[in-house]
Structure 1
């Protein structure tokens, strides 16, 4: 749906709606899960979308909690084989990519805790949750999910000013949800599938849900997708995007649904001279934005979980109120 700014009466009505806790839900694997709420204080306690499938994503649990405030302690805790919650207190300066082992919840304490100078590498792991953390000035990626990692939930983080990607998912990883993150001051935001020649590993994988993220003045890759089908891009807010919003390549199938595009010249596009990607769009809301490109929508696979999306016109208010740190 394309629209100009709503009339005053409609804007007032939507402000009233945004002030209320209006729940929308996903039904996955027989469990009712909240996709999101306009009440920013009510964050989900478990992941939604693809990370809720394949047995779910539970992280490290609460039986063992380790609080860290130095780089050495953080590196040791993240790489430990123990299932645990690692709480980061304050901003920690790190160098390079720190390895995150399976069965971990990595959680920031307060709104201003996280890492600067480096990032997290999830390689061949399962059952990892990363929430409420600030990632800035990474020397490579801020968060790199690769080598067949499965069941990963990246939620309510603030990410900016990295060298490469802010959240890159690649090399056959699967069942990932990226939700309620605030991305800003950056060029290449999110890559899904790293190379055109990696189809043997990626086909049938890379299934990811992007929901309630705020792409705030970033330039490209929100996400850029190769091979994956389906990918669900739902209820995100795109504001003042430099190059493009969502890109599909290498026969990927991306469903771009009920997002809010504001000042985005190219909300969706395909990339490449051959093996272009496929894009299906539904009821996106646009303000001062271009027309979505649609290609072979029938080839985009059905989303394999039931859900009730938020109305696109309400997404801006909901995401601005709820995305980023300090909202858990």
Structure 2
């Protein structure tokens, strides 16, 4: 399919059509900006679709068309594209744009009640993961949902949200893609209709969901995600009853970066109302990730999020000038912010933590087989603290070395953390375009 035909299809599926309602200069300027800071500025920088002729889309079908024409092969499309999003785009939607529920993707052999009954740990046991016909039917159901609601984004693409633009119900997958910009979009509720129970996960077992809101993986690089928001939307994890005494979890990460992805900058985003926020590096066994997973998190707002802010394996991750406002209670009660995973080398600088009563500052850092982490100049409730010393004092049996062992190879300015509680809530999220 030619790019000209794809552009026609996307524009025809869009409201308003580009020809009838020209984009304002401010919107075009946003789409033509390159990543200004962090790891995404290296090795040629991140320019996205640059000056490609823009299209506007307002549906899942229009988005798929603008990204190349066929969802299952769009990940290999590297033709430059600038795509503006208008309105709410539900990634579960059918060809007529109607959101779909689990019945649209469920395998004939899958029944949730039967699945729960079959793998009840009181009868099935806790020694092995689910297996057998019901688990196989669940996996087929999951694959059907994934094929439809996981939207593949290829290389050299820019996606910009017009005021109020929202992507819901699925995932943007950047798998092996390079040079991608995503800006000014609200992402919410990547609800997995078919989560898996695993009694061997932890001491009590856990439900595990499949979908992130954005997944960056498989050596994807030069990715910039800026001024977006990410949340569970109107379906928090406690909106359905627990099963086997555990949260019946239907959400996975907000943005996960794994399997060799690198040169990523996440800037001025709002992450809120969620459990597992960012995992950078998916497995202790992936030693090939060493030298990759180079990520900058700068100027982001973490509000009422529980953990992985981020959790880091192997990567050189710069956590710069972010604001953390966790909660002590509720479904997203704070666990930790900075996870020191295997061979992880996180450098935290000038972050502001606003902790309510009931959260001990020593819990900001958590150790996951890591050996080192560094913090410079962060504040907790307005006071300078040594985050690593606080962690080590509370965890003398598994101390961390204070030092990241590397320095950012790009220019940057360290913000004043005392001002972040004032400036970041105003600036983070989809705030780049007005409503008029």
Is the shorter-chain TM-score for this pair beyond 0.5, marking a shared fold? yes
Aligned to 2:351: 259
Aligned to 1:89: 86
Q: Output the CA distance in 1 between the equivalents of 2:161 and 2:172.
A: 14
Match of 2:278 among 190, 196, 215: 190
1:176 lines up with 2:272 in the alignment: no
Q: Please tell me whether the aligned partners of residues 190 and 222 of structure 1 are also in contact (alpha carbons under 8 angstroms).
A: yes
Choose between structure 1 and 2: higher strand proportion: 1
Write the deviation string for residues 137-173 of structure 1: whole angstroms up to 9, x where unpaired: 1131100000000100011001101710000000001
Q: Output the CA distance in 2 between the equivalents of 1:204 and 1:149.
A: 14
5 Å matches for 1:241-260?
241=327, 242-260=334-352
Q: Output the CA distance in 2 between the equivalents of 1:261 and 1:125.
A: 34
5 Å matches for 1:165-244?
165-200=253-288, 202-228=289-315, 230-241=316-327, 242-244=334-336
Aligned structure 1 segments of 4 or more residues deviating by more than 4 angstroms: 288-291
Q: Output the CA distance in 2 between the equivalents of 1:267 and 1:304.
A: 30
CA gap 1:156/1:85 in 2 versus in 1, 3 angstroms: same
Match of 2:373 among 279, 287, 292: 279
Q: Output the CA distance in 2 between the equivalents of 1:262 and 1:299.
A: 24
Q: Output the CA distance in 1 between the equivalents of 2:254 and 2:52.
A: 30
Please tell me the root mean square deviation across aligned C-alpha atoms, in Å: 2.1
Aligned to 2:34: 46
Q: Please tell me whether the aligned partners of residues 226 and 277 of structure 1 are also in contact (alpha carbons under 8 angstroms).
A: no
Write the deviation string for residues 82-131 of structure 1: whole angstroms up to 9, x where unpaired: 20111111011113210001000011011x10211111000001100011
Q: Classify the secondary structure of the residue corresponding to 1:307.
A: coil
Aligned to 1:152: 223
Q: Please tell me whether the aligned partners of residues 68 and 89 of structure 1 are also in contact (alpha carbons under 8 angstroms).
A: yes
Q: Please tell me whether the aligned partners of residues 123 and 145 of structure 1 are also in contact (alpha carbons under 8 angstroms).
A: yes
Q: Please tell me whether the aligned partners of residues 231 and 273 of structure 2 are also in contact (alpha carbons under 8 angstroms).
A: yes
Q: Classify the secondary structure of the residue corresponding to 1:178.
A: strand
- Matched residues, number: 282
Deviation at 1:321, TM superposition (A): 1.3
Q: Output the CA distance in 2 between the equivalents of 1:125 and 1:46.
A: 17
Aligned to 2:431: 326
Choose between structure 1 and 2: higher helix proportion: 2
Range that drifts further, 288-297 or 146-155? 288-297
1:269 lines up with 2:359 in the alignment: no
Write the deviation string for residues 55-78 of structure 1: whole angstroms up to 9, x where unpaired: 100000133211111111112222
Deviation at 1:267, TM superposition (A): 5.7
User: Which 5+ residue runs of structure 1 have no aligned equivalent?
Assistant: 1-41
Deviation at 1:277, TM superposition (A): 3.9
Aligned to 1:301: 406
Q: Classify the secondary structure of the residue corresponding to 1:204.
A: coil
Q: Please tell me whether the aligned partners of residues 175 and 207 of structure 1 are also in contact (alpha carbons under 8 angstroms).
A: yes
Q: Classify the secondary structure of the residue corresponding to 1:215.
A: strand
Q: Which has the larger radius of gyration?
A: 2
CA gap 1:321/1:299 in 2 versus in 1, 3 angstroms: closer
